Amino acid sequence: MTSKKSEHLSRREVLAAGVAAAGAVSAANAMAQQAEGQPLLGNPQLPEIPGSKMRWAIVGLGTFGVGRVIPGFADARQSRMTAFVSGNPAKAQDLGARYGVSHLYNYDNFDDIAQDDEIDCVYIVLPVGLHAEYTIRALRAGKHVLCEKPMASTAAEAEAMVDAAREANRQLGVAYRVHFEPNNRDAQRRIVAGELGTIRHISADHGFSANPDYAPHKWRLEKLLGGGGSMYDIGIYGLNTSLMMLPGDNVTSVSAAYSTPTGDDRFNEVEGAIEYRLRMASGISVQGSSSYCYSPYVSRQRYFGSTGSIEMQPATTYDNNVIQLEGGGPPRTFRSGDPMSQFAAQLDGFSEAARNNAPHLTPGEMGLRDMKLIEAMYRSADAGGAVMEVDIAV
């Protein structure tokens, strides 16, 4: 029989009784149960361990360095900026104050980075004609180096850079950011997985209209600073991205022809455009064009297979790449991811390789390969389109 008192228990008394009862059950079960650790499932994005990020010096604070490279660190998980190298002290100080970077160098005291323990990696973002010198100096200073593309002005310079990295036992990478761009990576996955059947042909067209009055374009039209012509600057995207889709193949021959507008004063030192063709050991061909005369900006890759095709237009831009997939159904246009993520992914990919002394996705040897192919293109064009026999592994 329920007592009158129990019929009028307050809410607080009921809750207290429940807690007490639960405590009694827990105590009774304590002898029979033990906590067991569970495995870490999946690949969760864990918080960074303090001080675990690799520390970077940015060499060259031009338009690309300030507008693209530096913002990439905002989303990087394994990389942080600790030093700037610039010939403009005011700019370096201003950017240093803005981003909390206190180690500032110029080109006269550049070699002092060897004594700076706050620098692990160096990113060379200078005009092409300066790549070899500053890459080799940074490697000899004991730093890992990521160098902007193209790697150098000549294959001989690129080979010297690879040798310097080997001698210093440091990582050397070339900043082929497309290898870290989610849409191009998705296209590569589909091609390698055979979703297009057997690849038959690849075409690549890249270019823009060079403006000699615009500082970022002006040095590209000067052979000493630009390293060469348009293939070194814009056409290399098509070359490298095409070969990205053909792992394990070999280039067996190269041919090319100039297509520079007659009487255009912009092209006194470099060609206005060049068209090229690569023959692969697999039997397919890669055909492309590179131009300082296209308008508007052109960035297009097309992959033709036996059962389907992919067109990317734009293909290799900073923030606007898309995929059009045809075959096995109606055409579908989509994005596989945010192209802007390529900058942080490239930095972190190199940081991880440098930290673990592991192979890098775009090593110096890849840059050397591309330099050999570009030189073969220009030799062919100089010889009126003669076929240059090569044997270069992709």
Walk along the chain (394 residues) and give the pLDDT tens digit of each residue.
Answer: 444 444 444 433 433 444 344 444 344 444 444 444 555 555 555 555 545 899 999 999 999 999 999 999 999 999 999 999 999 999 999 999 999 999 999 999 999 999 999 999 999 999 999 999 999 999 999 999 999 999 999 999 999 999 999 999 999 999 999 999 999 999 999 999 999 999 999 999 999 999 999 999 999 999 998 989 999 999 999 999 999 999 999 999 999 999 999 999 999 999 999 999 999 999 999 999 999 999 999 999 999 999 999 999 999 999 999 999 999 889 999 999 999 999 999 999 999 999 999 999 999 999 999 999 999 999 999 999 999 999 999 9
Question: Does residue 237 sit within a domain?
Answer: yes
pLDDT of the residue at 13: 43
pLDDT of the residue at 320: 96
Assess whether 143 carries a catalytic annotation: no
Question: Does residue 12 sit within a domain?
Answer: no
For residues 314 and 302, give the distance between their C-alpha atoms in angstroms, rounded to a whole number. 11
Of 138, 156, 177, the position where a domain reaches its end is 177
For residues 139 and 110, give the distance between their C-alpha atoms in angstroms, rounded to a whole number. 12
pLDDT of the residue at 328: 83
123, 134, 232, 237: which is the annotated catalytic residue? 237
149, 176, 276, 294: which is the annotated catalytic residue? 149
Question: For tokens 């007592």, what's the residue?
Answer: 3
Whether residue 240 sits in one domain with residue 204:
yes
Whether residue 379 sits in one domain with residue 289:
yes
Specify the number of domains making up the chain: 2
Cβ neighbourhood burial of 107 (10 Å; 0-12, 13-18, 19+): middle
- Provide CB contacts within 8 A for 392, sequence distance 6+: 250, 251, 369, 372, 373
For residues 221 and 224, give the distance between their C-alpha atoms in angstroms, rounded to a whole number. 9
Bridge partners (DSSP) listed for residue 392: 251
For residues 11 and 31, give the distance between their C-alpha atoms in angstroms, rounded to a whole number. 32
pLDDT of the residue at 227: 87
Q: What is the domain extent for residue 62?
A: 54-177
Assess whether 237 carries a catalytic annotation: yes
CATH number at residue 280: 3.30.360.10
Whether residue 383 sits in one domain with residue 258:
yes
For residues 237 and 362, give the distance between their C-alpha atoms in angstroms, rounded to a whole number. 13
Of 151, 177, 203, the position where a domain reaches its end is 177
pLDDT of the residue at 19: 38
pLDDT of the residue at 49: 52
pLDDT of the residue at 123: 98
Question: Does residue 67 sit within a domain?
Answer: yes
